[in-house]
């Protein structure tokens, strides 16, 4: 069986031994990897929690199968030149916010043997439009009158801040649109800055106050492929959904389209933060309902 890295990766050494690495959930992934049959697991974590993880490994009798290293993945020295598998729970809000994907890609290029495996190995970002007038008034309209004072200059700031929250399925007005799919075997760090089109088909006559984003994750290398979603149509996850309020309220009718583009790039000052842009245009034959615009957001 293979060696695994907890960053969370699992890898196999070039001489035929199997190794692996783990990162943030090092204290969980490494023991699960051993239980699943990994010959050796390398867990990497920057935080001091790794000291407790070492104690847990010892009391579970796994010290001969798990090596735990404290530090940054890019700076530590692994005990094996290559690994078979990389396992990492790298996803953040909106998939990419504060994510560890750059580190996983570095580990892939440095340590993963040819034909090695990555878990998970695919991720897709989706968009949809929602009706959310009541909460938008509460969050954005609130600044029009704060205890009798006009704080409207802060409305612009409020609009630039995406909201991470749980969205009820009944609020979704459009079909979802897949915007970006990442294949972790081939994606490069430069690909994480993108501008891609989307097209949303309106399901019912209603209003659109915001667009929401979520992601699906796939483990395609499993014996039986495993997939889970963080969307509003499925069970709750701690990633929830990311809500981007629009400046306009779109009055839409069933069968119409909202088209535009989603752009995203790491912030210049902090690469784990994101600068996000959303362009939108309601395609309708009714000139009174035509609307288009752009929102710029910071996470």
Which residues of 88-205 form beta strands (DSSP E)?
112-119, 122-130, 163-165, 177-183, 194-201
From the candidates 7, 25, 89, 256, give the one annotated as an active-site residue: 89
**Which DSSP state fits 109?**
H
Active site residue 161: no
Structure token digits, residue 282 = 């309601």
Tokens linked to 140: 């954005």
Beta pairing, strands 112-119 & 83-87: parallel
Q: What is the DSSP letter of 34?
A: H
Q: Are residues 15 and 9 in contact, defined by beta-carbon separation less than 8 angstroms?
A: no
268 is catalytic: no
Contact (CB, 8 A) for 217 and 237: no
**Which residue bears the tokens 């570095």?**
106
- Whether residue 73 contacts residue 106, with contact meaning beta carbons closer than 8 Å, is answered with yes
Which residues are registered as beta bridge partners of 281?
Answer: 259, 292
Contact status, residue 70 vs residue 50, Cβ threshold 8 Å:
yes
Residue 103 has what DSSP assignment?
H
Beta strands 206-219 and 18-23, pairing class: unpaired
Tokens of 257: 């389209």
Q: Which residue has the tokens 């659109």?
A: 208
Distance CA 18, CA 83 (A): 6
Phi and psi for 205 in degrees, rounded to 5?
Answer: -70, 125
Dist CA 184 CA 9 (whole Å): 12
Catalytic residues: 89, 98
């Amino acid at each position: 069986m293979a060696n695994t890295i907890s960053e969370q990766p699992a890898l196999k050494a070039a001489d035929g031994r199997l190794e692996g690495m783990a990162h943030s959930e090092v204290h969980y992934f490494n023991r699960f990897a051993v239980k699943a049959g990994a010959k050796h697991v390398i867990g990497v974590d920057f935080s001091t929690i790794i000291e407790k993880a070492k104690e847990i490994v010892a009391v579970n009798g796994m010290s001969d199968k798990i090596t735990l290293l404290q530090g940054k993945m890019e700076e530590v020295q692994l005990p094996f030149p290559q690994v078979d598998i990389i396992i990492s729970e790298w996803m953040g809000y909106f998939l990419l916010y504060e994510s560890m994907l750059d580190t996983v890609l570095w580990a892939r290029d440095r340590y993963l043997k040819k034909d090695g495996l990555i878990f998970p190995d695919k991720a897709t970002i989706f968009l949809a439009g929602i009706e959310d007038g009541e909460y938008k008034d509460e969050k954005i309209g609130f600044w029009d009158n704060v205890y009798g004072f006009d704080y409207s200059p802060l409305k612009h700031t409020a609009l630039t801040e995406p909201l991470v929250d749980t969205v009820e399925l009944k609020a979704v007005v459009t079909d979802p649109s897949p915007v970006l799919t990442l294949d972790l075997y081939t994606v490069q760090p430069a690909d994480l800055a993108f501008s891609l089109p989307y097209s949303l088909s309106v399901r019912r006559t209603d209003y659109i106050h915001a667009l929401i984003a979520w992601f699906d994750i796939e483990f395609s290398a499993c014996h039986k492929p495993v997939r889970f979603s963080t969307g509003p149509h499925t069970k709750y996850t701690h990633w929830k959904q990311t809500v981007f309020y629009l400046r306009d309220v779109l009055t839409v009718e069933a069968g119409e389209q909202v088209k535009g583009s989603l752009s995203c790039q790491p912030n210049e000052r902090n690469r784990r933060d994101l600068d996000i842009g959303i362009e939108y245009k309601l395609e309708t034959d009714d000139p009174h309902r035509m609307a288009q615009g752009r929102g710029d957001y910071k996470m």
